Structure 1
Amino acid sequence: MKKIYFFALASLLWAGAYAGNPDRQGEAGATQLLMNPWAPSAGLHTLNTSYVSGVEAMRLNPAGVSRFAGTQVMLGYANYLQGADISMQAAGVTSKLGKNGALGFSVMSLDFGDIAVTTTEQPEGTGAQLNLSFINVGLTYSHRFENKVSVGITLRGVSEASSDVSSFGFAIDAGVQYVTGEYEEFKFGLSLRNLGSRMSYGGQALATTAPNPDQSADYNLTLQQRAASFEMPSVLNIGASYDFLGAIENQRVTLMANFTANSFSRDELGAGLEYAFREQFTARLGYRTDLDAAAGSEGTFADESPLYNGLSAGVGVKVPLRRGDLSRSFSIDYAFRNTRIYNGTHNIGISLGF
């Protein structure tokens, strides 16, 4: 019955991902939902759908939240496209709930640096700074069935606003992970993310002044412009991984592959490798490419090439707070993702597990 439930959920998620119209590519908004502020998974180019766990699972596959034994607190920071003066900040916490359940809460925001306010009358700037607030908050519940199958769902609120215009919407993420093998070395994961309400902007910035049609009136009218609505960037992730164990004592090598179906952009395919020594030192390497979008190919414009040109790498160090007990530990991780423009994206994060 568990296998039946697993494949039924997988089929449901697959069908939901392809319910949209592929002709709408490039029309989605709220792209902050596609950014990854967590360093461990960023070092793998977010390819670890099959075995991601704890706080960062809320960003990729909520089924992994219940696979972290205990409570985890994580902070993340990313210098997005170094040189663009954009950064990501994130914080999250997960905790066990009962024997097999877990709850998680996360918040992520974007900082766009100093942006001068300009007008048609003052194109060089008014002296004021544009106040932008992009933030999303998620609440996750995950449940594990005797360690073989875990499922999870995240409810997320998305807000994008400036001082005089704003937009708000809700999104849902759902996922499943399956573990098998004598040493639980084979893992499979599937997640569907960013299914939600349409969003649209409103506020005083959309007001405009027009002449009064009443010629006898000596005042103008203020009209409210209606902004077009947009959808969130729904994404389907399908991933698998295999742990090579036992060749050398206290060492693990995990090979993974991941396919991402984007409803509003090109699909992606990637593979990664993670090496761990005693689960205290970890090195990560990933490669991801957009399908049907070879940069520089005939008929392809430069700005249609993938932003991330393939490679990512990362390292992590975990220090046990009690000798021999990694369930209580402090970790620090770093990741770098190479980009076609600017100088790449740098992630750094710290976490505490207990």
Structure 2
Amino acid sequence: MKKIYLLFLSSLLSLAAFAGNPDRQGEAGAAQLLMNPWAPSAGLHSLGTSYVTGVEAMRINPAGVSRFAGTQVMLGYANYLQGTDISMQAIGVTSRVGENGGFGFSVMSLDFGDIPITTTEQPEGTGALMNLSFINVGLTYSHQFENKVSVGLTLRGVSESTSDVNSFGFAIDAGVQYVTGAAEEFKFGLSLRNVGSRMAYGGQGLATAADNPDQSADYKLTYAQRAAGFEMPSMLNIGASYDFLTQVENQRVTLVGNFTANSFSRDQVGAGLEYAFREQFLARVGYRVDLSAANESTSTSADQSPIYDGISAGASIRVPFARGDVSRRFTVDYAYRSTRIYQGTHNVGLSLSF
């Protein structure tokens, strides 16, 4: 318990370093690390820091990987900001190792649709399409202690590239979850995400041809431009949840709360509810807002208002392989998140647990 108290105190002290700062908004890169391709947690606006388990935990809180009893394989697809032709695809696998350990592996990629290549000589397009590749790969290890505490660590490689420009970096996610209560109804979680190396673009695409300073030379010189580096969008999450109706047969209602301290944007706070019937049908709804300064002008607030406009909702249907055994199941998930612009983000997912 002393270690838990020390970790909790350290997280509170680190809030000053991770306090939301609208003045730095837009300075971070690798925004793909802020996107959630998994439908169950997306239906709660990724507020499940305290109780998320399995594959989804690799994105939100790696401590939850070891809390999933067995093996889980999950596929995720998201139509990001419907109308932009941007989509997310992801696959993840987690497995319990021994009595207390758990490993996980995940891959996520972005598809930006068809983007024509244009040049100053051909502003209407060259006829070719831009080849964009945004991929991040995560490897997670989690361990659960006998005193109901679990910890986890994710090492993530982040790659963003075109045919002639690329950037690569490493990020680390770390988290802890604590469960208590007679029926383990109260859960608390902390996660520190996207802490890693600075990234910078490089490659032949940044080279430019300029006139030769030697006036007698009749050829141009090629100069390599050095791009400015950028940081990853690090954040600190603190969450708690409580299960109601645990004494009522076949039903559960979970109240979820979460606070997010962003390094490069405003802090966020959110809450949600998840209802489960026989752990086979689940419905969830969440709401998240940005914490704004009271003295900000209306125009400034509008310019920096979040993409996600508060509400989210989702549902899951779990089909057990054996009657009364929900641990071995096939699951279909869906989630919707309202957005300030475009027509929202839709997530769908399939998972197999055994």
TM-score (norm 2): 0.96
TM superposition shift of 1:20:
5.9
- 2:140 is aligned to 140
245-254 or 121-130, larger mean C-alpha shift: 245-254
- 1:349 is aligned to 349
Instruction: Confirm or deny: 8 A CA contact 1:72 1:94 kept in the other structure.
Output: yes
Provide the aligned C-alpha RMSD in A: 1.6
- 2:302 is aligned to 302
In the alignment, structure 2 segments of 5+ residues that lack a partner are none
Matches within 5 A, 1:44-55: 44-55=44-55
- d(CA) in 2 for partners of 1:228 and 1:207? 14
140-149 or 89-98, larger mean C-alpha shift: 140-149
- 2:318 is aligned to 318
1:168 equivalent in alignment to 2:168: yes
1:10 equivalent in alignment to 2:8: yes
TM superposition shift of 1:275:
0.2
Percent identity of paired positions between Structure 1 and Structure 2: 75
TM-score (norm 1): 0.96
Matches within 5 A, 1:164-313: 164-246=164-246, 248-292=248-292, 298-300=298-300, 302-313=302-313
- d(CA) in 2 for partners of 1:299 and 1:337? 24
CA offset digits 1:299-328 (Å, max 9, x no partner): 425332110110000000001112211111
Number of matched residues? 351
CA offset digits 1:31-81 (Å, max 9, x no partner): 000000000000001111100000000000000000000000000000000
1:122 equivalent in alignment to 2:111: no
Matches within 5 A, 1:53-92: 53-92=53-92
Instruction: Confirm or deny: 8 A CA contact 2:142 2:150 kept in the other structure.
Output: yes
- d(CA) in 2 for partners of 1:302 and 1:313? 24
Instruction: Confirm or deny: 8 A CA contact 1:293 1:306 kept in the other structure.
Output: no
TM superposition shift of 1:205:
1.0
TM superposition shift of 1:12:
3.7
Distance 1:42 1:251, change over 3 A: same
1:40 equivalent in alignment to 2:50: no
* Partner SS state of residue 300, structure 1: helix
213-222 or 327-336, larger mean C-alpha shift: 213-222
CA offset digits 1:268-296 (Å, max 9, x no partner): 010000000010000000000111079x9
Instruction: Confirm or deny: 8 A CA contact 2:196 2:232 kept in the other structure.
Output: yes
- d(CA) in 2 for partners of 1:20 and 1:261? 6
- 1:153 is aligned to 153
In the alignment, structure 1 segments of 5+ residues that lack a partner are none
* Partner SS state of residue 209, structure 1: strand
Instruction: Confirm or deny: 8 A CA contact 2:17 2:263 kept in the other structure.
Output: no
- d(CA) in 2 for partners of 1:82 and 1:159? 24
Instruction: Confirm or deny: 8 A CA contact 2:63 2:150 kept in the other structure.
Output: yes
Instruction: Confirm or deny: 8 A CA contact 1:239 1:258 kept in the other structure.
Output: yes
Instruction: Confirm or deny: 8 A CA contact 1:94 1:105 kept in the other structure.
Output: yes
